[in-house]
Amino acid sequence: MTPDEGYACTRAWHEERLKEGWRPVGRKIGFTNRRIWPIYNVYEPIWGTVYDRTLINAERGFADVPLEGLAQPRIEPEICFRLKAAPRSAEPAHLLECIEWMAHSIEVVQCEQPGWKVTLAQCTAQNGLHGRLIMGPRQEDLSGIAERLPSVEMILKKDGRVVDRGHGVNVLDSPLLALSHLVKILKTEKLQPGEIISTGTLTDAHPVAPGEQWSTEIHGIALPGLKISFR
């Protein structure tokens, strides 16, 4: 299977989900963090669809997240945007004009392959490995974010203990540039107003299990961290 054939598989699943009443609400971008490419042997970004049934709102900064049905789930702290207009180009200055608000998100990814030993095609065939997207409080003031996003620091904790740290520069040099990359590679599935775009993990992806408590801290932009309880 090639990566394009994998996307074709995901499109077929997408059509079936639409028939079953699933509603697409946005996209996730995966493998934008170049630090983790050698770990998973995947050396380019991928994307998948986020649905109303996989999106969890955590506007108060906390979410109780079910893991049932997810294969080998892992946690990824990210930055996401909501679009108010369809991008006409991938230029960062133009993309800023298209963004309605920014938020901190956590994606729970999943993988059917044992030990997370994957190929690029397997990732594209599994909807970009998307499982859940937990979206935190919104920030509508985007003043200066293009300059600040590369140096944003994300701290990931499990049960109060620091597990990993990452920076905005890890995701294709900035979450805004990760969005730019998605605009460039999309062919027939162009981004639309109202979509939520999560731009990829700033740290490595870490295994999670029911009963665990995870949290994040963000430094460098005016976004609060999230607290997640898995069940």
What is the number of structural domains in the chain? 1
Burial pattern 119-149, b for ≥16 Cβ within 10 A else e, equals bbbbbbbbbbbbbbbbbbeeeeebeebeeeb
Interval 29-46: pLDDT, tens: 999 999 999 999 999 999
Per-residue model confidence (pLDDT) at position 222: 93
Parent domain of 116:
3-230
Which token pair is 136? Answer: 């935190």
pLDDT by 10-residue block (mean), the chain, 231 residues: 96 97 98 97 97 97 97 98 97 97 98 96 98 97 96 97 98 98 92 98 98 98 97 96
Per-residue model confidence (pLDDT) at position 62: 97
Interval 38-95: pLDDT, tens: 999 999 999 999 999 999 999 999 999 999 999 999 999 999 999 999 999 999 999 9
Per-residue model confidence (pLDDT) at position 189: 87
Q: Alpha-carbon distance 153 to 169, whole Å?
A: 9
- Residue 7 is part of a domain; what is its CATH number? 3.90.850.10
